[in-house]
A and B are shown apart, each in its own frame.
Chain A
Amino acid sequence: KQEVTQIPAALSVPEGENLVLNCSFTDSAIYNLQWFRQDPGKGLTSLLLIQSSQREQTSGRLNASLDKSSGRSTLYIAASQPGDSATYLCAVRPSNYGQNFVFGPGTRLSVLP
């Protein structure tokens, strides 16, 4: 059974810092991995989707990498801003069973002005 963990559970940084969020999964048989952002009381907003054949994806100040064989992904946020404060979740889509995405518990990020 696929399990997804995220470290750290919470992170507080001053504005302007570069930061890395980590996601680990137990089974490397995946179709893709997706990073989301969730603001309080809201649904999830898709940030980046990495297919299993890709190593990284970039969007603006965000860069996500995927090392499928070691079961890890990182989300790099450059020059953090207070508006980046939210919970960041990763999810993997297994390729060997089921059709659903398996989510991690999220990392709660606070960027202080």
Chain B
Amino acid sequence: GAGVSQTPSNKVTEKGKYVELRCDPISGHTALYWYRQSLGQGPEFLIYFQGTGAADDSGLPNDRFFAVRPEGSVSTLKIQRTERGDSAVYLCASSREGNSPLHFGNGTRLTVT
């Protein structure tokens, strides 16, 4: 596709459940980022991939959060034992390489009830 695609656009889950959020970056973009955004705030960094490897995962809040990018394209953000505080919009972005503009998807709105 022409842009970054994120699925699902909305996800409602119960506290304690496991969720997976998917990101399809722009074709050929080697860098992929996950961010989390709460209402009225700027995006908060979670993890950055360069190719298949996580080059920087310093933003992951705890070990319930994990992300993969096995073939250097699609990435999945996985959240175990969800908590109400995990509710936010999860944004994915990609770029051709580290110093190029970031291109964002429309995000997945996660609501934990």
Contacts and interface: CB of A to CB of B under 8 A. Distances in A.
Instruction: Give the contact-size bracket for chain A.
Output: 20 to 34
Interface residues of B, number: 28
A106 B39 CA distance: 11
A76 to B, nearest CB: 19
Interface in A87-113: 89, 91, 93, 98-106
Contacts of A44: 43, 91, 93, 102, 104
A106 to B, nearest CB: 6
B37 to A, nearest CB: 9
Interface string B87-113: 000010100001111111111000000
A101 B107 contact: no
13 contacts: A4-B42, A32-B99, A34-B101, A36-B102, A36-B104, A43-B107, A44-B93, A46-B101, A100-B48, A100-B59, A101-B45, A106-B41, A106-B42
Interface of A: 4, 31-32, 34, 36, 41-46, 49, 51, 89, 91, 93, 98-106
